[in-house]
Structure formats: C-alpha cells, structure tokens
Amino acid sequence: MKKLRPFLFLACLCIMGLLSFNTPVQESMQVKNILGKLLLYSKNERPEKTYLHTDKDFYTNGETIWFKTYLVDGIDHRASDKSKVVYVELIDSEGNILERRKQFVSDLGAEGEIQLEQKLAQGEYTLRAYTKYMLNEEEPVFFEKKIPIWMQQMTKGDVAGIPQNSTNSGVTDVVDEKEGVSKTKVRFFPEGGQLVTGMSSKLGLEVTDGQGNGLALQGTIVDQDGNVAADFRSGEFGLGVVNLRPLSGKTYYARLDGEATDSEFELPRAMPEGYLLNVTDRGEHILVQVATNLSDGLQGALLLGHLRGEVFLKQVVNGYGTKEHAVKIYPDQLKEGVAQFTLFTAKGEPVSERLFFVENPDQRASLSIDTDRKSYGTRDRVQVDLALTDSQGKSLEGEFSMSVVSKNALSSEYSGDIRSWLLLDSDVGATVPDAGYFFRNASKDRKQLLDALMLTHGWRRFKWSQLLEKKTSKKLRFPPEKGITISGRAVNYYDNEKFGKSLASLTLMGEDLVYDKDSTDNNGRFAFGSFFFQDSVDAILQAEGFGKRPKVLDILLDAPYPENMPAPRKIQYRETRHVEPNNDYMANAYRQKVADFTFDPDKVTLLEEATVTAKRPNPRDVRNRILTEQMDAKMTTGQFSDRVHMDSIQGTETLSALELLRYSRYSFRRGITSVNAGTGALYLVDGVVASPDFISSMRANEIQFVDIVTGPDATLWGVRGAGGVIAFYTKKGIYLGDETKDVPGIINTKIIGFNKVREFYTPNYSVDRKEHEKPDYRSTLLWEPNIMLKKEGDNKLEFFTGDNPGNYLIKVEGLTVNGVPVSETMELEVDSSN
C-alpha cells in the first residue's frame, strides 16, 4: 500500500486540477486586470513578424540576392492587417547600411532583389527586414540573416581560364583573445525561475566555450562539502536538463569531468520559501503542476497559459491552504509554437514562469514536390508539381516562393527556415545556430533538447511587469504604414526651432498628377498619403502661414527611411565561425563571370593594366575638369571653399553622405550640423534646402560631389549661410539646365517610391536562340517568388538546367492561408552524360 500512495496522491492532484478547470473562474480585480491587459495586447497591440526567403545562403561580388519578404500577424501568422510597407536592408560588419529596399506587401509577401556591387568588400553581411510598426516595441524583433559574400576579381589574363586563387578566398571571423575560446561556462536555469529549499526542481543547463558555442560535456553537482547531489550531461548545442532537491544551508556547485577541482560553477541559491512551476510532456497530454511551501498556500492564485498572446488556460486555485495544484493540457487543441505558463499570486504578482514548446502534428501542412524524373541532362527541361495538404490529406491554399540552386550554394551552418523563425526564434530570440534541427524529426532526444532550450530562454514579446503597468493604450509613435507617406514640418524660414500652424500642400507629378492640401498641427507637422508608386516621383511642397502678415516658412521633410536604427544583433555563437566557401561553387561563379564578360562586357568590371603618359591626360582628370566648369557655372553659383569628389575616395561603398565631409579640409568638431562654431550649417541637395535628418539618410554612393562654402564665400546665402553651406549633388540629380532657386515656403524634390524588381531570367533551351551560345554556369536555375497554390488547378512549374552538372536542391517556403508555415526541399541530379 505504501507504494501506491504517491500514485494516488498524483491522481487526486490531477482530479482537483481538472475539476478546477471545469468550474467558473472566480475573477478578482487583479485577475481581471491581468486577463484584460493580455486581451488588449492580443487585439489592439498585435505584433508583426517578417521573414526573408533568399535563393541562396551566400554569394560572390556582382551576383544578385533574390528574396521574398513575408509579412504576417505575430499571433496567428496570417496576412497582417496593419502594415503594408516593409524595409529590407543589407548591412556590413560595421553596421553601415549599404542597400535599402522599400517594398509594398499586398497580401502575404513581396518579391525583391539586391544587385551586389563588383567592388563590394569581402565579409559577412546582414540582411534585415522590418516594418516601422515594429519600432514601437522596446526591443524590436527583426528578422536578420547572416550572409557571407566573397570577393572575386577578374583580370584580363584570367578570362581565358580560371585562376586557382579564385576558389580559395575565405572569411574568417576574428576571435577575441581577451575572452578566450577555451574558457568554458556552465549556466543553470531553474524551472519556473527559482530553486526552493526542500522541493525537487528541474534545471535547464547550458555549457559553452568562451565565445558561446555549445559543448557536449558531463559533470557532477556537489555541495560545499564535496558531497555529490546529482550528475549532469549536456548534448547538442551544449543543452541539458538535471533534477535537484536543494537542502537547507547548502550551496551547490557544478564540476566538469576532467577539469581542475578549482574550476567550479556556482548554482543559483535556493530560496527558503517560494513557488515551483513544472511542465512535463506526458505524450497525450501536458501536465502543468504548481507548488509552494508558503503557509497561506496557493489560495486565489492564477495559473495562466497563452500561446503568442492567445489564452488557452486560466485557472484560479480554490481551497484555503492548498499548496499543490495540477492540470492537464491536451496539445491537439492548440496551435504549434512557444507557450508561456505564468503563476500569479492572489495579489496579481507574477512569481513563476515557464516556456514550453507545443507540438501538434494535426496543425501541420504537408507540401509534396514531385518532378517528372530524378535525373536530368544539361540544358534539360524539368517539370515540378506541387501539392499542399493538411494532416488529413485535404488540399489547402497558400502563398509560396521557390528556388532551385546548386546544393553547394546552401549553407549547412544556417539551416533555419520559415518554420523555425515564426514558431521559435521570433518569440524567444536567436536560440541556436541550427534552429531547424528541432523541426526535422520527432525523436525523444530532439524533444528533450527542445525542452532544455525552453528552460534556458525567456519570452521576448513582452514583460508582464510592463504590460500590467500600462494604464491605457498610448498613441503609437510609429503607426502602421499603408503606403508611401510624405511628411515633415513647416518651420520659420530664419529659425527652424520656431514653428506653428500653417497650410501645407503637395503636388506629385507622376503618371497621374496628384494635388492635396491640409493644415499642419500646432507643431507644424504635416503628412500626406498613403500613395503607391515605384522608383522616384517629382514633387512640389508648399507651406503658407495664416493671418494678414504670415511668417516666411521653410519645409523640412522627414527622411524616406527609418532613422537611428539599431545595429544588427550580436549572435554570439556565430561570431567565431570559420566560413570557407565551397570550391565548386566559387569555381562555377567565376566561370559565370567570365561568360558574362565574354558575351556582355558592360556587365562585368574587368581589371587590366593601364599606361598613362604626359601626352595622354587621365580621363578622370578631364572629366573632373569638365564637371567642375559645369558645376561652378550652374550649381553652386558662387565660389566654394572646398570640393569633395566621390570617386576620389576609396571605400565609399560603406560610407554615409555625411561621412564624406571627413575628407574635406574643414574641421567639424562641433558635430555634423555645424561648420562654423555655434551656428547650424545650411544643407542643400541638388540646390534644394534639406533637413539634417534627410541628409543622414543618404548614402555616399548616391553622391557625385560635395561643395563646402564657408566664411565670406557664404554671403550669397545671406543670414541662412552664416553657419556655412554644405551642398550635396547626387548622381541622378545633377541637372545642367534651368537653375533650381531656393524659394521660401516651396521645395522641389524627389520622393522615393517602392522598388521596382527585375524579372529573374530563365532561359528556354527548347528554342534555338543566339543568346544560347553563352555558357550557362548559373548556381540559381530558378527563382519564383510568387507561387499561389490552389485547392484545384494546375500547380506546375518548369525550368531548364544549365551547363553545370551536379546535385541541385528545390527549396519551397511559404504559408497556408491559415498561417501554417511550410518549408520543404527536394534533391535532383544533373548528369552531363544524360
């Protein structure tokens, strides 16, 4: 009978939990406040998530990054009803934004591409996607993907053949010797947040080297007297789980096997009184247990469970003096993803928290990829048939993108996909180098590691303390963008710090003439839109003051892109990786560059030795002299004190427009807004007055040259030039016709629209054409960003292989109309003997 007592106790405990689950929740004011704030979050403050599917995982200079941007609601993963505008940025290792794309998302996604410059420096870059609405979060969760880009230089002598060193360029991240790679760290994370004396608890553990790379090691937990309390072992990614029942007055340490006895790691101290929260996967159900050793027990405590903000469990514990409580959760009733369980006291204070990953195969979708054959010859036709079904085999609809690339163009180090991002990393932050590992199979070891991952990470979307402190919904600092908004301020012409209510008007001179006007607010702010147009459109903005003697006004436009963006997040486990390019990939990429140059010389920069003699002037000098004459006559309209030419500076690809000023002979010690001490400089862009914010958004590669005017030379601009004049002239904006006048209250400018995307070239080798004489060594055979799978109809695609034999992967990613993420791959072979 004694052996049956623990079982009977647990059974009674579960029955009490189930009875409690089926009884009406007795909601106190504290409980109502908690549930109300979470309801407000899930209805009015729903987050957004972005994801980028790229055709490949790494590139060489001169290649194109083809990508599909997915924008979804952060809770149900369906098409977002908030934003329609997504920003995509390519960022170098120093945090400089090299390329920006503004995309319009009509439903789930938008296609895009970035042409990499031939002179792009070799290194690891970051591709980032976000909406302005995401900037309202205290710690925005942007999608970021690390992309290595390798440099290949072509010279005249190499066109006939491939140099051996073209395949040996690698990227090696520098190891921080101060931290030391060999310095092992062991960290423990008590389940629910704390250890309690005398109560058995589960701890997640993480074993890493000095750079955050997971280590598979084993060791023991001992008390201060050297008595062994438990053994532990870490597995993949350095993760593991251990159980411990801390005793009163004891301090516990972890020792790694084979390490010196002085290499110990102290565990968190046990509290004499507190709460425990345990979540266990029992197969058919999830058992949630809470316990305490406090004398007043759990009376009135709230046990709450939500998945991405949607509540699936809310129980108030009834019964005075109750110290233990349990409830069963059946996952087949839940969506998949990260669930958060929280225990609140009767006073509404969160005291214990636990993340748990809910798996529900019934919620998944299956995508089958079938080809007419498994092996193909070079320049052979391939037919692909796609079928999307639910767990019951019923047809589904969804939006997808597909790439067909050489197998060596996909990285084995980063195999995360749309599933691992939307269901895991986007809610808890960057987890492990290979988050896709947790979605490949249903093995017991994989499930245990996933649970260990949940024990060692916290919820990223909100903090309970901050959520509960919110009184009312505040006005959003960054409202969702539905299209292109043209905004700014109307200010006093002679003092930009003075402003007031005025009348602003806008004229857009696109395909259709658009005219709109409206009153500014009391701070002089105005906003027009939302508009939809591509590329750039000429615009005229005008501001007029009210009254019999209206003030002379100036217009300061907001920057076309978000400003003061944070640097890409530091993913510690990726900082020390040694990335070597695949030699076959690099060789084929070089062969393609040679073919491009041979058949289209304008497409590739070819380096060759140049001989300059005194009889033949340098073409750059001639061009600069002609430009100087034209610019002096038509643009600056006066003597400039200094001129900075863009193409006279090395490495400008990574600079901002303002950073060009460091190459002038003038000191800017008082900041970028000052030329002369104490007075703000006047900024001009192609002869039009611009705000410092607008200048901050410009890149150096947009600029042809910069004129700097100081001292007596600036008198032409009157009082406005007292602080000096900095005139930027863009490559596209240089216009040698009628001069642009600086008229108070009116500005002529160009408004940046959505990016126009080139069409991916797919040859049709079933038809004889002259261009088919060109060798075809493309690593991306097909990029199709807009696949709308229907329940009924033809879901077939076709493409042709190239001249490069080997193994290729068909990778398809996307979402069903119900928000279920799907990622599937299929391998096919190209054999030159076929």
pLDDT in tens, 440-484: 877 888 899 999 999 998 776 777 877 777 665 667 889 999 999
Residue of higher predicted confidence among 463 and 555: 555
Residue of higher predicted confidence among 181 and 510: 510
Position 734 scores a pLDDT of 41
pLDDT tens track for 646-660: 766 655 655 777 777
Q: Cα(40)–Cα(202) distance, rounded to whole angstroms? A: 33
Would you call 333 helix, strand, or coil by DSSP? Answer: helix
Please give the backbone phi and psi of residue 158, each rounded to the nearest 5 degrees, phi first: -90, -15
What the block records as the tokens of 1 is 């009978």
Distances, alpha carbon 756 to alpha carbons 103, 113, 447, 759, in Å: 9, 9, 44, 10
Position 155 scores a pLDDT of 64
Instruction: Show the DSSP H helices in 230-388 as ranges.
Output: none
The pLDDT of residue 152 is above 50: yes
SS3 assignment for 397-425: CEEEEEEEEEHHHCCCCCCCCHHHHHHHH
Q: Minimal CA–CA distance to 327: which of 339, 341, 337, 338?
A: 341
Position 692 scores a pLDDT of 75
Apex 270 CA angle, 266 and 273, nearest 5: 170
Strands 682-685 and 688-690 come out as antiparallel
The pLDDT of residue 574 is above 50: no
The pLDDT of residue 77 is above 60: yes
Position 409 scores a pLDDT of 79
pLDDT tens track for 322-369: 899 999 999 988 999 999 999 999 888 999 999 999 999 999 999 999
Max CA distance (Å), the chain = 110
Q: Cα(781)–Cα(785) distance, rounded to whole angstroms? A: 13
Using a 10 angstrom Cβ sphere, with 0-12 exposed, 13-18 middle and 19 or more buried, the burial of residue 204 is buried
SS3 assignment for 695-764: HHCCEHHHEEEEEEECHHHHHHHHHHHCCCEEEEEECCCCCCCCCCCCCCCEEEEEEECECCCCCCCCCC
Q: Which amino acid is at 644?
A: V
Q: Lowest mean pLDDT: which of 226-235, 241-250, 260-269, 744-753?
A: 260-269
| Average pLDDT for 748-776 | 92
The pLDDT of residue 102 is above 90: yes
> With bands split at pLDDT 50, 70 and 90, how would you rate the model's confidence at 595?
confident
The pLDDT of residue 632 is above 50: no
Residue of higher predicted confidence among 735 and 661: 661
The pLDDT of residue 725 is above 50: yes
The pLDDT of residue 571 is above 60: no
Give, as one character, the DSSP assignment of residue 82. S
Q: Is the dihedral of CA 387, 391, 394, 400 positive or negative?
A: negative
Using a 10 angstrom Cβ sphere, with 0-12 exposed, 13-18 middle and 19 or more buried, the burial of residue 673 is middle
The pLDDT of residue 101 is above 80: yes
pLDDT tens track for 137-151: 888 889 999 999 999
- How do the domains of the chain map onto residue ranges? 185-358, 638-738
Q: Cα(596)–Cα(604) distance, rounded to whole angstroms? A: 7
The pLDDT of residue 14 is above 50: no
Position 669 scores a pLDDT of 37
**185-358: which CATH topology?**
Immunoglobulin-like (2.60.40)
**Cβ atoms 145, 414 nearer than 8 A:** yes
Say how many Å lie between the first and final Cα of the chain, rounded: 74
The pLDDT of residue 621 is above 60: no
**Cβ atoms 391, 361 nearer than 8 A:** yes
**638-738: which CATH topology?**
Ferric Hydroxamate Uptake Protein; Chain A, domain 1 (2.170.130)
What order of strands is seen across the sheet that includes strand 201-208?
185-190, 201-208, 239-244
Strands 324-329 and 365-371 come out as unpaired
Distances, alpha carbon 229 to alpha carbons 132, 199, 448, in Å: 51, 14, 22
pLDDT tens track for 200-214: 999 999 999 887 888
Cα within 13 Å of Cα(727), Cβ side: 27
Burial 410-443 (b: 16+ CB within 10 A, else e): beeebbbbbbbbbbbbbbbebbbbbbbbbbeeee
| Average pLDDT for 231-249 | 94
**Residue 665 CA to its chain's centroid (Å):** 39
**Cβ atoms 352, 276 nearer than 8 A:** yes
**Cβ atoms 422, 49 nearer than 8 A:** yes
Percentage with pLDDT > 90 across the chain: 49
**Cβ atoms 665, 642 nearer than 8 A:** yes
Number of H helices and E strands in the chain, helices first, is 9, 44
Helix/strand/coil percentages in the chain, nearest 5: 20, 35, 45
| Average pLDDT for 416-434 | 89
Q: Cα(450)–Cα(431) distance, rounded to whole angstroms? A: 10
Residue of higher predicted confidence among 591 and 661: 591
Radius of gyration in angstroms for the set of CA atoms belonging to the chain, rounded to a whole number: 31
Position 460 scores a pLDDT of 67
Instruction: Show the DSSP H helices in 324-457 as ranges.
Output: 418-420, 426-428, 444-455
What the block records as the tokens of 262 is 């002085």
The pLDDT of residue 107 is above 50: yes
Residue partners of 165: CB distance under 8 A and separation at least 6? none
Would you call 592 helix, strand, or coil by DSSP? Answer: helix
Highest mean pLDDT among 66-75, 510-519, 614-623, 729-738: 66-75
pLDDT tens track for 300-335: 999 999 999 899 999 999 877 789 999 999 998 899
> With bands split at pLDDT 50, 70 and 90, how would you rate the model's confidence at 17?
very low
Instruction: Extract the runs of DSSP E, i.e. beta strands, from 55-142.
Output: 59-60, 64-73, 85-91, 97-104, 109-115, 123-130
| β-sheet bridge partners, residue 97 | 91
Residue of higher predicted confidence among 260 and 632: 260
pLDDT tens track for 267-310: 999 999 999 999 999 988 999 999 999 988 899 999 999 999 89
**Cβ atoms 702, 696 nearer than 8 A:** no
Position 465 scores a pLDDT of 76
What the block records as the tokens of 395 is 């047809």
Give the number of other Cβ atoms within 10 Å of residue 175's Cβ. Answer: 14
Q: Cα(415)–Cα(278) distance, rounded to whole angstroms? A: 31
**Cβ atoms 536, 733 nearer than 8 A:** no
Q: Cα(556)–Cα(72) distance, rounded to whole angstroms? A: 33
Q: Cα(782)–Cα(795) distance, rounded to whole angstroms? A: 16
| pTM for the structure as a whole | 0.79
> With bands split at pLDDT 50, 70 and 90, how would you rate the model's confidence at 192?
very high
What integer best gives the mean pLDDT of the chain? 81
